[in-house]
């Protein structure tokens, strides 16, 4: 739920809360966002909300002339292209992290996956949700790559858009456990200090994620069509 925030660091907190609301599925792709409604729900003036939405244009929202701000929406081909970009960049990030990541970082990554395992099990194996950047396996690898441009593109642009699709695609039957197993394989290649193995494992994982995301997109479209017919 969108929750109220204290009147400190309003623009930054409003940005974080709006991101969390969109990527958690509280707002659907294509849904119109109201500055006034968001401001009321966050208990702030419209200024911080307006600034947050401006920062998110091209990332999580788009501004449509004569309509306003909407949650960004991808078609099948656009989603494919987004995952192609992700596969290339995250594959290289994993290759670099296999060399550049410290032993201490690898230990923290292993601990992170153990937390993810517990979260999936407590949720009945139905969903794999990485709620924030600090809890995100892919975010950690991009950071450890040591490549500023990869981090800028992945974490500043692509990351936000992919979070919209993660919640829906990760809820596909069996996907949560499969994704966790993929992450463990990537971690093993990183621990082996095998750049080629790490890149290959990451690419396989992203390819599987792409297919899951497309299946989820098609399922959602079919559900909407059925609802319209009825």
Compute how many other C-beta atoms are within 10 angstroms of the C-beta atom of residue 118.
Answer: 10
DSSP letter string, 131-177: -SGGG-HHHHHHHHT--HHHHHHIIIIIHHHHHHHHHHHHTSTTHHH
Between strands 32-33 and 61-64, the pairing is: unpaired
pLDDT at 230: 60
* Contact indicator for 150, 92 with CB cutoff of 8 Å: yes
Backbone dihedral region for residue 84 (phi beyond 0: left; psi -120 to 50: alpha; all else: beta): alpha
Tell me the β-bridge partners of 33. 69
d(CA 68, CA 55): 15
Q: Is 85 exposed, middle or buried (0-12, 13-18, 19+ CB in 10 A)?
A: middle
| CA–CA gap between residue 26 and residue 13 (Å, rounded) | 17
Q: What is the CA radius of gyration of the chain?
A: 18
Give the distance from CA 36 to its chain's centroid.
Answer: 26
Res 6: pLDDT: 56
**What's the pLDDT at 128?**
62
* Tens digits of pLDDT across the chain (230 residues): 566 655 557 788 888 888 888 877 788 888 999 999 999 999 889 999 999 999 999 888 999 888 899 998 888 898 899 899 999 999 999 999 999 999 999 999 999 999 989 888 876 655 565 555 667 899 899 999 999 999 988 887 787 787 777 766 666 667 888 989 999 999 999 999 999 999 999 999 999 989 988 888 888 777 766 666 66
Q: Give me the domains of the chain, ranges plus CATH numbers.
A: 10-71 (1.10.10.10), 76-229 (1.20.120.530)
32: β partners: 70
Running DSSP on this structure, what letter comes out for residue 66? Answer: T
Other CB atoms within 10 Å distance of the CB of residue 162: 22
Contact between 158 and 85 under an 8 Å Cβ cutoff? The reply is yes
């Amino acid at each position: 739920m969108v929750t109220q925030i204290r009147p400190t660091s309003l623009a930054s907190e409003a940005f974080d809360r709006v991101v969390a609301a969109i990527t958690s599925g509280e707002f659907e792709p294509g849904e119109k966002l109201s500055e006034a409604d968001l401001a009321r729900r966050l208990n702030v003036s419209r200024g911080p909300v307006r600034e947050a939405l401006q920062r998110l244009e091209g990332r999580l929202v788009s501004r449509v002339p004569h309509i306003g701000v909407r949650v960004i929406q991808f078609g099948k081909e656009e989603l494919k292209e987004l995952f192609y970009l992700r596969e290339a960049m995250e594959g290289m990030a994993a290759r670099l992290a296999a060399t550049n990541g410290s032993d201490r970082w690898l230990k923290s990554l292993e601990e992170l996956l153990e937390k993810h395992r517990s979260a999936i099990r407590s949720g009945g194996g139905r969903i794999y949700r990485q709620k924030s950047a600090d809890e995100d396996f892919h975010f950690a690898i991009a950071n450890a790559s040591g490549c500023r441009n990869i981090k800028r593109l992945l974490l500043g642009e692509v990351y936000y858009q992919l979070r919209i699709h993660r919640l829906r695609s990760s809820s596909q039957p069996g996907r949560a456990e499969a994704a966790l197993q993929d992450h463990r394989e990537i971690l093993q290649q990183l621990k082996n200090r095998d750049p080629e193995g790490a890149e290959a494992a990451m690419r396989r994982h992203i390819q599987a994620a792409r297919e899951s995301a497309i299946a989820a997109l098609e399922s959602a479209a079919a559900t909407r069509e059925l609802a319209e017919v009825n």
